[in-house]
């Protein structure tokens, strides 16, 4: 019965069962980042350096610059196969995600930046038996991230900023007595939450750049309204709240330029998902243990390995490509329909065209392929249906980012 309570979680946790990274983060927030599979830290050099490495933006050419992007996201249908007679699939999803980046001209040794991005979320809707757990999980987030970079000397700089994240979500599920789920729910909530980020950048040689960035954990302390009901009628209608993390992330990156035209970057990323121990809802009045008991999640810290190649084909055209391997933090023991997550392999390509000294245009494409997830009977200890064994497969994500950058 504990699985009833956990269904409310994903709305407020920025949860999607098929985002562009393991769990529910969305790292791709610009043309360059999408084209390079996120291997864009030590080589961050455009307007989007404000978000990816504010320490590096002080080495940009001394002009104001801004970039506006739109990313079309297509999430494929996920197929679920369980015990005999139980199968389901999700609806395909399509989204348009905006991003904006600005870097100021220099003020002495300092520069200022501002980014507005969608750092986490999206949506998942099951068609059949999965509706008892996730008829709809939809999350909308936006992060406002002002930054400052300061040049210590001609080779070393530091930077940092504030993260302000607005979260809005909705979750719906329906009762299904055939699998022992007598309760449905509708829940809405929102919040403003805050964190910070730091960066350091070293121009070790003319060809080698080294960087370290850290983005703090942001606890989404969401407050909203819950409507719990059964076939017999309402159970609870009132306030509800929950807190879940967007994890802290450490990135260590090295970028080396060969022959002035080709730059290769390797980025190691550590995601501190172990901050997500359990899920605990609070209501304005006490509820049955099935709703009030904390639900164990016990997620693991994970690694992501990224490599990106940027090649200056000629004064007009820049070509990019990338690959990443992204580990899932969700253990099989506590996984559910709202996030049947698994390790992912990510492939990307992109190009930028310099239209003039001030204006450039670009496009990038990314393909995210999740591994097949298999749960042996008895391996899952939280969801009664998944405890009988299950397979989730064909989880895919496709991203197309287009945008322009203007310098003035």
User: Where exactly are the structural domains of the chain?
Assistant: 3-407
pLDDT at position 176: 85
Return the CATH architecture of domain 3-407: Beta Barrel (2.40)
Question: What does the alpha-carbon distance between residue 163 and residue 190 come to, in Å, rounded to a whole number?
Answer: 16
Question: What does the alpha-carbon distance between residue 240 and residue 224 come to, in Å, rounded to a whole number?
Answer: 5
pLDDT at position 49: 97
Confidence of residue 201 (pLDDT cuts 50, 70, 90): very high
What is the reported pTM? 0.88
Q: Which is higher by pLDDT, 239 or 204?
A: 204
pLDDT at position 183: 81
Checking if the pLDDT of 292 tops 70, the result is: no
**325 near 309, Cβ under 8 Å?**
no
For 333, the 3-state DSSP assignment is helix
First to last CA, the chain: 60
279-to-6, 23, 194, 217, 221 alpha-carbon distances in Å? 7, 15, 20, 16, 12
Per DSSP bridges, beta strands 110-117 and 136-151 are: antiparallel
Checking if the pLDDT of 104 tops 50, the result is: yes
Question: What does the alpha-carbon distance between residue 22 and residue 374 come to, in Å, rounded to a whole number?
Answer: 16
For 273, the 3-state DSSP assignment is helix
Closest C-alpha to 327, from 352, 297, 303:
303
The region of weakest confidence among 129-143, 146-160, 253-267, 371-385 is: 129-143
**Mean pLDDT calculated for residue range 358-387:** 94
DSSP letter for 289, please. Answer: H
Mean pLDDT over the full length of the chain: 88
The region of weakest confidence among 54-58, 224-228, 371-375 is: 224-228
Checking if the pLDDT of 273 tops 60, the result is: yes
- Strand ranges (DSSP E) for 233-372? 233-246, 249-258, 262-271, 278-279, 282-283, 295-296, 302-312, 317-326, 344-354, 359-370
The token pair that represents 227 in the structure block: 């409507």
What are the two backbone dihedrals, phi and then psi, of residue 303, each rounded to the nearest 5 degrees? -115, 145
pLDDT at position 300: 93
pLDDT at position 36: 98
Checking if the pLDDT of 1 tops 60, the result is: no
Q: Which is higher by pLDDT, 228 or 248?
A: 248
Question: What does the alpha-carbon distance between residue 220 and residue 216 come to, in Å, rounded to a whole number?
Answer: 13
**372 near 341, Cβ under 8 Å?**
no
Q: Which is higher by pLDDT, 186 or 69?
A: 69
Checking if the pLDDT of 280 tops 90, the result is: no
**187 near 223, Cβ under 8 Å?**
no
Closest C-alpha to 363, from 83, 32, 19:
32
What are the two backbone dihedrals, phi and then psi, of residue 398, each rounded to the nearest 5 degrees? -125, 130
pLDDT at position 317: 98
CA angle 282, 283, 288 (to 5 degrees): 95
């Amino acid at each position: 019965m504990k699985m009833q309570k956990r269904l409310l979680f994903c709305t407020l946790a920025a949860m999607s069962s098929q985002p562009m990274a393991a769990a529910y983060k969305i790292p791709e927030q610009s043309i360059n980042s999408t084209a390079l599979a996120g291997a864009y830290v030590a080589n961050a050099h455009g307007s989007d350096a404000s978000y990816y490495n504010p320490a590096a933006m002080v080495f940009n050419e001394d002009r104001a610059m801004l970039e506006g992007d739109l990313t079309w996201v297509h999430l494929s249908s996920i197929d679920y196969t369980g015990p005999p007679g139980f199968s389901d699939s999700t609806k395909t999803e399509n989204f348009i995600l905006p991003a904006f980046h600005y870097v100021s001209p220099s003020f002495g040794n300092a520069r200022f930046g501002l980014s507005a991005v969608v750092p986490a979320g999206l949506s998942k809707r099951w068609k059949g038996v999965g509706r008892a757990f996730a008829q709809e999980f939809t999350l909308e987030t936006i992060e406002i991230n002002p930054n400052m970079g300061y040049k210590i000397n001609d080779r070393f700089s530091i930077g940092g900023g504030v993260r302000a994240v607005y979260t809005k979500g909705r979750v719906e599920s329906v009762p299904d007595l055939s699998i022992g789920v007598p309760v449905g729910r509708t829940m809405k909530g929102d919040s403003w939450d805050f964190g910070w980020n730091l960066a350091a950048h070293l121009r070790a040689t003319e060809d080698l750049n080294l960087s370290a960035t850290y983005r703090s954990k942001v606890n989404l302390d969401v407050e909203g309204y819950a409507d719990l009901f059964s076939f017999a009628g309402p159970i609870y209608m009132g306030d509800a709240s929950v807190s879940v993390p967007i994890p802290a992330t450490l990135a260590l990156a090295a970028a080396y330029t060969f022959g002035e035209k080709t730059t290769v970057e390797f980025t190691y990323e550590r995601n501190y998902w172990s901050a997500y121990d359990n899920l605990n809802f609070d209501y304005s009045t006490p509820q049955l243990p099935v709703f009030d008991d904390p639900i164990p999640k016990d997620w693991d810290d994970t690694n992501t390995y990224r490599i990106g190649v940027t090649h200056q084909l000629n004064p007009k055209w820049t070509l990019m490509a990338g690959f990443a391997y992204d580990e899932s933090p969700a253990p099989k023991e506590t996984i559910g329909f709202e996030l049947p997550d698994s390790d992912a392999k990510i492939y990307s390509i992109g190009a930028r065209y310099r239209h003039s000294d001030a204006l450039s245009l670009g496009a990038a494409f990314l393909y995210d392929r999740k591994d097949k997830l298999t749960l042996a009977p008895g391996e899952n200890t939280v969801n009664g249906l998944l405890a009988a064994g299950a397979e989730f497969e064909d989880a895919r994500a496709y991203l197309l980012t287009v945008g322009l950058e203007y310098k003035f």
